[in-house]
Amino acid sequence: MNEILAEFLRGYTATNQWLAILPEILLALLALSLLAVEMASPKAARAQVGRVAFYGQLFILAVCLIGCFTGPATTGAEPLFSGMIEQSGTTQFMRVFFLLCSLFVSYLGGIYLERQPLARTEFHHLVLLVAAGMMLLVQSAHFVMLFVALETVTVAFYVLVAYGRNSVGSLEAGLKYLIMGALSSAILLFGIVLLYGVAGNPALAASSSDSLQYSALAEFISLHDGNLLVRLGALLVVAGICFKIGAVPFQIWVPDVYQGAPTPVTSFLAVASKAAGFVVLLQLVQGPFAGLGALLVPVLSIVAAVTILFGNCAAVVQGNLKRLMGLSGIAHAGYLLLGVIAVASGVAWAEGAVLFYLFTYLLGSFAVFAVMTFAAGTDDTDQQISHYQDFAKEQPFLGGVLAIGLGSLAGIPPLGGFIGKLFLFIAAFQAGLYGLLGVAILGVVISIYYYFGWIREAFFSHYNETVPTKTAILPSMRDRLLLGFLAAASLLLGLYPAALSLLP
């Protein structure tokens, strides 16, 4: 190999700093070692796998937090791996976010798997891979990296959704998610390819031979924001992401998949998958598509308005709780889109508001999904509102956590969800989205109806004498600690929002 070539290649590999993605590498290693642990240990000891996964993730979370606070100050975005990934304060926050999600999902998965005749190791393995994939996804600054990370996450999710092999609903959900996911990936990829093609055209100004890199693409798009192929490509990319976040014309898969998937997987889909989609959308809107605000703001505004109305109206008449959480999740995606639109129209601090909202959504959703996991019987897909009759009387602790979680999701004042919504709406107001703001407030009012319908079912006594057939598992001390943490954090963020230092 000649010297010049070697020198050149060295220049490319100089930024391959593997230590920068230490948490992801540790997660992947943990996932691999779980498989080894299962192979090596005797059958009786395999229940330990869940514990290994849980404590391993706790350790990685600690590593990640230490990296956040003691690592080199990440003021701006730092390009790593030849511009494949960029790290910033936002990505550090999201890494911790996804680790928290996978921790909760592992924990709830352990509870779910105890009741099902299913293999355990693979579940934890896939959850870890999804977490690592999402952490890379939000850090990616290059469409190749984005797509590979996204596909890793999606393929693992196909399996997780279909994990309940003994339930027809889970298999059906897996198939539906597979088809819709493949379709959305195809749309996203088509958009990426169009952008790659048009930005790599040497006849146009500012064309780049590495036109999938965000910064190169941003430079190109800022000069060619009227180009038809650019607009089409950007719209297709945004449409592909809208599939992931479940925004309205692409929400069709949400209720069925949420209902069929095992409850822990549903919570993972609802929180982590959605959050990843929103962070990617935020990065695109601020990065490569910054020059396309005139196109994206009206399109996203229509999508947001329809999403909020559809999600809330469809959730009102829903009796199945997993479908209800799915549909209300669509509505939450609508509120979050408000923040994205505000960012796209120039209110920069709205990014912090979106992240704050995502975090309160994590706390609220996992509180509710955890209670649902405890309260579910052996048939995971069939969880009706009516099963929660007199729930709070029999399980005062779980009832209390449920009330706090639902209250936070509905946006009731002393809880974190209220602050999240408040700041999103302030951001939308500053961006001048008055019509959209009206729709969102209407949506919140509708949402209070169905969230409190659930609370009423659980807390207030009934006149009809039907005896509830479900028997919830009694939470152990450790479960109580975890649930208590979720509820307390919701309350804390409501009373003292500065704890997250994301808001102005």
Partner 1 sequence: MLDVLFYVFSAITLVTALLMVLSPNAVNGALCMILSFVGTAALFVLLEAYFIAVLQVLVYAGAVMVLFLFIIMLLNVEKGEGGGYLKDRISLAASIVGFALLAVLVAAAFGGGSHLPEPGLSAVVDNPVGANGGFEFSTAMKSFGYSLFSKYMLPFQVAGFLLLAGMIGVIVVSKKPDLGTDDDAPTEGQAPEPSNS
Residues 54-83, interacting with partner 1 (CB under 8 A): 79, 81-83
Sole binder of partner 1 in the list 60, 64, 126, 437 (CB under 8 A): 126
Stretches 167-175, 185-193, 330-338, 403-411: which one binds partner 1 (CB under 8 A)?
A: 167-175
Q: Positive or negative CA dihedral for 350, 356, 359, 361?
A: negative
Does 11 participate in binding partner 1 (rule CB under 8 A)? yes
Number of residues that bind partner 1 (CB under 8 A): 74
Angle at 399 between CA 398 and CA 400, to 5 degrees: 90
AA letter at 45: A
Q: Which residues from 93-112 bind partner 1, rule CB under 8 A?
A: none
Question: Is 151 among the residues that bind partner 1 (CB under 8 A)?
Answer: yes
- Contacts of partner 1 in 278-317 (CB under 8 A): none
Q: CB-wise, 215 or 286, nearer to partner 1?
A: 215
Contact segment (CB under 8 A) with partner 1 among 67-75, 127-135, 183-191, 304-312 equals: 127-135
CA atoms lying within 13 Å on the CB side of residue 344: 26
Task: Single out the residue of 23, 56, 110, 174 in contact with partner 1 (rule: CB under 8 A).
Answer: 174
Residue 368 binding partner 1, by CB under 8 A: no
- Mark the segment that binds partner 1 (CB under 8 A) among 142-150, 351-359, 421-429, 489-497: 142-150
**Contact call for residues 256 and 86 (beta carbons, < 8 A):** no
Question: What count of other Cβ atoms lies within 10 Å of the Cβ of residue 420?
Answer: 33
> Which residues, numbered 316-335, are part of the site for partner 1 (CB under 8 A)?
319
Nearer to partner 1, 293 or 377 (CB): 377
CB of 107 to partner 1, least distance (A): 18
* Single-letter amino acid code for the residue at 393: K
Site for partner 1 in 419-448 (CB under 8 A): none
Please name the residues in contact with 236: beta carbons below 8 A apart, sequence gap of 6 or more. 187, 188, 190, 191, 194
**Any bridge partners for residue 142, and if so which?**
213
- DSSP H or E segment with residue 371: helix 350-375
Among residues 60, 138, 159, 234, the one that binds partner 1 under rule CB under 8 A: 159
Residue with tokens 């709780």: 321
Q: Would you count residue 378 as binding partner 1 (CB under 8 A)?
A: yes
Place of tokens 């169009």: 194
Q: Is 503 in the site for partner 1 (CB under 8 A)?
A: no
Q: Compose the 251-270 pattern: x for residues touching partner 1 by CB under 8 A, - for all others.
A: --------------------
- Is the separation of the CB atoms in 30 and 124 below 8 Å? no
**How far is C-alpha 212 from the geometric centre of its chain's CA atoms?**
24
The type of residue at 39 is M
- The span of 233-241, 256-264, 377-385, 429-437 binding partner 1 (CB under 8 A) equals 377-385
267's CB contacts (< 8 A; 6+ apart) are 104, 105, 108, 365, 366, 369, 370
How far, in Å, CA of 369 to CA of 269, rounded? 11
453 touches partner 1 (CB under 8 A): no
The verdict on 166 binding partner 1 (CB under 8 A) reads: yes
Q: How far is the CB of 490 from partner 1 (least distance, A)?
A: 29
Dihedral over Cα of 200, 205, 208, 211: its sign = negative
Q: Does 115 engage in binding with partner 1 (CB under 8 A)?
A: yes
User: In one letter, which amino acid is 201?
Assistant: N
Q: Which of 228, 294, 313, 379 binds partner 1 (CB under 8 A)?
A: 379
Tokens (6 digits) for 70: 């003691």
Judged by beta carbon, residue 382 or residue 422, the one nearer partner 1 is 382
- Least distance to partner 1, CB of residue 141, Å: 10
**Per CB under 8 A, 216 contacts partner 1:** yes
Judged by beta carbon, residue 81 or residue 361, the one nearer partner 1 is: 81
Q: Does residue number 213 form part of the binding site for partner 1 (CB under 8 A)?
A: yes
For partner 1, the binding residue among 53, 64, 138, 156 (CB under 8 A) is 156
Task: Provide the β-strand partners of residue 86.
Answer: 79
Among 33, 37, 46, 68, binds partner 1 (CB under 8 A): 46
Give the pair of three-digit tokens for residue 457.
């079912």
3-state secondary structure 154-193: HHHHHHHHCCCCCCHHHHHHHHHHHHHHHHHHHHHHHHHH
Token pair of 150, please? 């996204």
Q: Which is nearer to partner 1, 92 or 408 (CB)?
A: 92
Identity of the residue, 237 or 303, whose beta carbon is nearer to partner 1 in the bound complex: 237
Q: 458-477 mask for partner 1 (x: CB under 8 A)?
A: --------x--xx-------
User: Do 27 and 64 meet the contact criterion of CB atoms below 8 Å apart?
Assistant: no
Q: Are 247 and 333 in contact (CB under 8 A)?
A: yes
